[in-house]
Amino acid sequence: MESLPIPHSSSDIVHCVNAEIIETDSSGYGINSDTFKNYYFPNRQRINSARELIDMWLESQRIKSEQTERVYRQVAYELLRWLEERYNLPDLRLCTLAHLQFFLAYLKDEKPHLYKAKDGEYKSKLDKNGNPKIGLGKNAIAKYVCAIRSLWKFGCKQAIGYFPINIAEELGVSWDDKTAERVLSERKVYKLDDAAKELSQRHWVLFILLYYSGCRVGEIGRVTSKNSKTGKTEVLNPGLYWRQLREQTNDEGDMELVLTITGKRNKTRTIVLDAETSEVLLAIRGGARDDDPVFPSCSHRDKGQPLTDRGIRLMMQEIGDKADIKFSPHYLRHTHATHAKKKGASDFDIMAQLGHTSSTMTSRYVKLSGKQGTSHVLRK
């Protein structure tokens, strides 16, 4: 076969694929994979496998936070495994738009809901009738679509040249705005507070800290991720230590704690905790040193290490089950912002507290606060 011509447009690429690459091979897909894999853009990176592409993509500037990297890594490798198991496709370059659409249909209709149990095993979540939960929701699928679109867009860059055309751009992204569901009423907060107290002091202090600080769970808990290249577990956030809490006296003469944390994109910020929350935290310190974790892990494997973000989520789930209220740690972050706005906090102060870089993001958290319309004005 003659060498492939260098394409100068999408139509040229399609012509090259149709005229030169399509042949009947043993896989039945009508593609000569060796020719396809050797096709490249000028000056492209020499990427030999989909896993190499994924690693390069995750390390690029397109991925701007550790949490996004972790989610996108999961999506990419899940897609890769699914294509190998269902269609015997070992290479993403052999994937078509139809394959991606079938994958999204699988997520919607077939994918089981799994969670990691205390014993480390993944188990199926059950619905109210005791049956395994099947199929992801609209927003969960939208996250998959965003990850896939990002991967293909990166792979189509001229400097990368892994994909000849961006088939993923045809996938639509559709979100349900569930911001209202993430804001708990004050009555529910009090009920959760009581449930946390009944469970243990540890449950209660964690709940109090998350609600009154507005911190992300990944800023309080230890966050780890497995390096796909080395197979070793890397620490993305070490967790919360007593050295990150500094005492100071406020204008009223009360003692309060100043919390220093590292948020998304490794940005450090300080949060001044109110006197009551500070008192609750100091009550559990005892004789702990500055280099001791505030919330030590109860796991034998992680002895001496801070509690993980997954461990914190599990404890919040236990509080929710106790109070019969569905919520997550991130609900407390939305609730903090909305309640603070209702009680007079400025948008600037809320943005600084949450660690947002734009007022647009902050407005998503507090947009339900204080919107009364104009009808009440006519009654004055």
- 3-class secondary-structure state, position 192: helix
| C-alpha span between 108 and 319 (Å, rounded) | 29
* Percent above pLDDT 90 for the chain: 49
Global pTM value: 0.67
Nearest to 92 by CA among 172, 84, 106, 70: 84
Q: Which 3 state secondary structure label does DSSP give 329?
A: helix
Q: For residue 226, which phi and psi values (nearest 5 degrees)?
A: -85, 125
Q: List the single range of 9-18, 119-128, 228-237, 290-299 with lowest mean pLDDT.
A: 9-18
For the chain, list the domains and their CATH numbers. 1-38 (no CATH), 40-170 (1.10.150.130), 181-369 (1.10.443.10)
The pLDDT score that the predictor gives to residue 46 is 72
Residue 2 to residue 251: CA distance in whole angstroms: 81
**pLDDT, tens digit (0-9, with 9 covering 90-100), for 40-59:** 444 456 788 899 999 899 88
User: Which of 19-28, 74-83, 172-181 shows the highest mean pLDDT?
Assistant: 74-83
Beta carbons within 8 Å of 278's beta carbon, 6+ residues apart: 247, 255, 256, 257
Query: pLDDT per residue over 225-262, tens digit each?
Result: 776 667 778 888 899 999 999 999 988 888 999 999 98
